[in-house]
Amino acid sequence: MKTKYLSALLSIGAMAIASPSMAGTSDSPQLSFSCQTINGVPATVAQSAESESQITIFQWKQEALANRTSDSPEELCHDVAQKLEDYAVDYDLSNINFIGTTTTLGDDVPTICANVGGAECGKVLFTLDKTTDKASTVAGNVVDSILAQDLQPQKTTLTTRGVQSISYQVDVWSLLGLNFNRK
């Protein structure tokens, strides 16, 4: 009888050990995000575990952020890379929108977001300082300035409830040269 329980316990233990490696073999490749310095400018980059190629997502140019935030380009680079990394745990970021809009936390605040399901704010990446200018315009201008130029062809301008948002849809897998079929 004890041998029977020991055998069952060993089988369960073997499955528990195998499970983490099995979980890593999902159908969708995983993205990782990091902050690197490229040509002297902090840059948030995406890379797939299946490929050594990487793409620059944001180039944290000081002139684009001047007088808009008290955070340094380096701080924003690291913070946004970590937020995208965290977001990727729960969502497939292979086809992602980067959005310049506003949040209404009592006042309009220029906000840069990401979303995998549309052009609304799904994950706040960072906010800018409150401004006397139109917040959504400021946020849109910052996204235009920091988003890597080769990611900008899919620009959409939306107006929802009187608030204009600028959104860029980015197909990360295609840009990384991967042929991944989403289900």
Structure tokens that stand for 23 in this block? 């979980």
- Average of per-residue pLDDT across 156-183: 73
pLDDT in tens, 108-154: 889 999 998 777 788 999 999 988 888 888 999 999 999 998 888 87
Residue 67 has pLDDT above 90, yes or no: no
- Average of per-residue pLDDT across 52-59: 90
Parallel/antiparallel/unpaired status of strands 95-104 and 108-115? antiparallel
Residue 25 has pLDDT above 60, yes or no: no
Residue with tokens 């797939």: 48
